Each structure stands twice: as structure tokens, then as C-alpha cells.
Amino acid sequence: MATIVLFHHVQGLTPGVQAMAAELRAAGHTVHALDLYAGKLPKDFDAGMRMAGKLTEDKIQERVDKLFGKLPEELVYIGTSWGAALAQQCAQQRPGAIAAILLESFVDLDADWSFGPWPENVPVQIHGMDQDPFFAKEGDLEAAQRFVEAEGGDIAQLFTYPGKQHLFTDSSLRSHDPEARALVMERMVKFLQPYV
């Protein structure tokens, strides 16, 4: 059984994010879905971006540390979009990471503002749509491809899905793609099977 920290996207801890947490629990894992917005749910993506922009790094760190103080060091980090960047930062910078799943975002390890090198022996899955204006059109997909080529399939896996929806993995949003999300969940559960 893995202990998972699940980071939500800019629209908050939506019913769709909670549904993902429930599915991972049903697969045998302990899941802590961190609510960085303290219960608030922005009405749309743009409102979510504004809310995320108002959260200082110190406030985010305070809320993250409050949760992590109660958890074991060995954790799996999962996040979607904005939350994927937070999950990636934790996987790269906190000791004890055992795996990571990054949905709809990837921070280029070669960028000046990257989180540093990828830790040894920490497997990662990256998922995103091949025409997503954020994931595919702003460099995340290209950076993920370079990373996977450098690391090899034993450590890094990249899966792309046809479409241009962002936040397609959230079953409670209009951007949801049921078929693609089902495949993402199937691959995530299989990836995490060794930790059950």
C-alpha cells in the first residue's frame, strides 16, 4: 500500500479530484488530497489561476508542511496541472519519494527555474493531451519527451492522448474526457500496483 499525496489543479479540490482520490483508495492505497484553497472552489479556470496567483510560496509551504508532518517520509506524489508542478517539486526535493505521477504538466529539468535533477530510482509517469494549449503548446510535452529519452522507460513513462482539453482528467469539469481519463486511471493503477 502506497501513501499518496494528491495535489489539485487551479480549480481546487473539486469533486473530480476527490473521485480520483477515491479510485486510488479503492485500488488499495492511502490517499491524502491536500486542499490548498481551504475549501474554496473557483468558478472557472481563469478564477482558479487568479486564486493560485494569490497564494504565496510561504502559504503553500505552510499548508504542505502541516500535512507532511503527519505522514511517513516514503510517499508517492500525484498532481494535476498546477498541482503537478507542486508534486514534481516534492518528488525532486523532498527525501523519501518513491514515485510520482504528473498529469497535464511537466516542469523542464533544464530550465533555469527547475527543481534540480530527477532523483535516482524514482519512477514517474507523465500524462497529457497532445494538443493541450498548456501541456503541448507551452513546452511541457517537449520537455517531457527529452526527459523520458534521457531517463529511459524503466524510470520515466510518457503517455499522450488525442485532444486539446486541459484538465481532462477531472470528471467534474466540462473539460473532462471520459475515455482518456479511464485510460489514465488504468495506467496509474497499474503503475502503482507494486506498492500495494
Model confidence, pTM: 0.94
pLDDT digits (tens, 9 = 90+) for 125-141: 999 999 999 999 999 99
Report the alpha-carbon distance of residue 177 to residue 170 in Å, rounded: 8
Q: What is the CATH number of the domain that holds 107?
A: 3.40.50.1820
Report the alpha-carbon distance of residue 112 to residue 44 in Å, rounded: 31
pLDDT at 195 over 90: no
Q: Mean pLDDT score of the chain, rounded to an integer?
A: 92
Please count the structural domains in the chain.
1
Q: Check: CB of residue 93 under 8 Å from CB of residue 61.
A: no
Range of the domain at 165: 3-195
The C-alpha cell at 3 is 501513501
pLDDT at 14 over 80: yes
Least confident of 16-25, 38-47, 138-147, 158-167: 38-47
Closest among 102, 122, 94 to 188, alpha carbons compared: 102
